Structure 1
């Protein structure tokens, strides 16, 4: 990965506005970093979009969020990592969200994650909806700039 520029690959359901919100930048910033995009309403599946972290935030060495630990997934937890995880679960066809995911860990997150665990072949207590390192690493949650 280029150490000065990060890229995001457009997935099903993405819009530039959603991508900007996920990484905590403005739509105008994304357009500035991607002058080849002439219409912000038109992006294509698989397109690489240049993204950069907010000023002062170091560029991570990895493409995916590291597993934050099982204790992270509590009802009091509010983090953009949870929201981005939700979008990945949607991308994987494992959503039970009534609408868009948000940053608060919820029953919908747990139920969606349990669906992901079952998709990977887990059952019973191993598909309880609480992320573990193995299933988390397979979900490929993009790095979140906090």
Structure 2
């Protein structure tokens, strides 16, 4: 038994599992809680809709029908693999079902054949309606089956359930046939396989390289105390000084963001290291020498 997930937890779990999610209307507060309890939750139930077309399918699952108010599930899985969240809380999807099946789901063992309908399933199961005509001929695209697998695994992973906590409507309520077109045993095998591998965290974006503007850097260098004029400050000076420190040409104490005498002398050493001499090694950066310093120590040069 488990406490139902919050809207934020549902979103986080699905997205962490790699599910494409669309939030529909006021789904976070759209439920039938006034008609009965929601929770404790014990499993995930999969259905087919007997409808065609994503827009119409999502609408009916959100709004419901004249004889059955919405939401008719927690999420609608359309044929392209998108999960449309339509409810959070009690939803009209499961109806009355077999207490022996519920006991098996709670114990995480294979469910017996359903033969009675006396237990309120809307209280105990997350429900996902899948866009399909349910005639056994309407195809189940790979993207949709993958989304069913991911959704089921995401919820099981959150609650620390295994794949036996995922059932079809046909396993819960006598006379139901959904989902038709694949077996729940095959889907549970997919979910179990997914649960055996933790989702890989998304790699952090590589930090962008600092950019040094040559013209601004030269202006800062030419305003150093060896020359006349007021010193010019420029943030790119620190980037260049850090590179000169890494090259062993400038003492760290002089890496202060001011292209002063020590930095000019250090840059002149870099120029001589590259083979320049005389006035070509005067400590004032040029495009070629600065680009080579950037290539080696991780910054980009613009003119």
The structure that is helix-richer by fraction is 2
Q: Which one scores higher on RCO, CA 8 angstroms, separation ≥ 6? A: 1
